[in-house]
Amino acid sequence: MKKIIFGAAMLVCAAAMVSCGGKTPSGISKGSRSKMDTLSYAIGMNIGQGISGDMPEMKFDAAVLATNAEKALFDKGMKSEDAVAVLEEFFRNKRPQRLQKLDEQMRERMKDTTAAPIDPKEVDIFESDDERREVSEAYGADMGSRLRKSRLPLQTYWFVRGFTDSYSGGETVVTPDQAAMCMQTYFMVTRPAENKKASEEWLASIEKQSGVQKTESGLLYRIDREGDAAIKPKATDVVEVDYEGKFRDGEVFDSSYERGSSTEFPLNGVIKGWTEGLQLIGKGGQVTLWIPSDLAYGTYGSSMIGPNEALEFKVELLDVKVGNEPAKTEAPAAEAEKPAEEGSAE
């Protein structure tokens, strides 16, 4: 269900478009009606096409969905956990049962050679307008929350317009091919290049700070607490840590402290920067790592991490277990250098 929500957005901006390709990923803004933002429009348009094409039986209230997506992009409106609860109940329980019933009806209809076949586009899976509104609100809130976490430079006016134009099946400002070219240029060329340049400049400034050291691989680190030098992990060991991960601008994207639970994993099962950096301290130690993208999530990024993103981690080494013991939970950085599937972030 989560893949359906966000998958269509993370495809791929054409120079022929009005204002696509040269914008720094600086966050969400309202945008101006008088100046088209093609990237935002194309992403909204792509999501609208994806939803209507993948789930024709889901006759969402497009206005409610779009309004709540916009609210969530600004971190307002329906709480994320409330939206997820509504969607899980509907997509795990109600929708499968209703689709099964629909399938049975279609099979029965096929037995009658005189009856017209059921057109999926004419099916409405919602049983009431109240249910339609509730699910539309939750779907929009969840979609907006995921897009916000992707750190795309969206202008909400043009994103919403692209979505509503496309989802309604009406005339769009750009063609589907133009929208696809627009996103391809942004995701494959513009965004990676911008991130690479900004990350290199950021790491160069970090390297000049007092106490920061650099390894041959390019990893920057500062040992905040040495720990027990007699109990240092090897790459094949299992470690237990508390950690906090930040983007260049200081925004925290992942934290075991916030969850209130440490994490345990094989040290050779995470990104290279973690594997190298944690071997620099002993049990009880703490290190701050500034990790170049080639030692983190690489040119593709992950569900939450953009392409060519350098990252900062504060890590406390709580325990070291010798050998390849089973991990308690998967490490936060375990998807090193894998292409982002959908941008979820999940």
Q: For the chain, how big is the Rg over CA atoms in Å?
A: 23
- pLDDT single digits (tens) 94-150: 999 999 988 888 787 777 777 677 676 778 999 999 999 999 999 999 999 999 988
pLDDT in tens, 255-297: 999 999 999 999 999 999 999 999 999 999 999 999 999 999 9
DSSP H or E segment with residue 24: none
| CATH class of the domain whose range is 209-321 | alpha beta
Torsion (CA) 83, 139, 302, 276 in degrees, nearest 10: 0
Are residues 108 and 96 in contact, defined by beta-carbon separation less than 8 angstroms? no
The stretches of the chain forming alpha helices (DSSP H) are: 2-6, 38-54, 62-73, 80-89, 95-111, 129-149, 156-167, 176-185, 191-207, 256-259, 272-277
Contact 174, 38 (CB under 8 A): yes
pTM: 0.77
CB atoms within 10 A of CB 204: 10
Q: What are phi and psi of 307, to 5 degrees?
A: -65, 140
Tokens of 157: 């006016």
Listed by start position, the domains of the chain span 2-191, 209-321
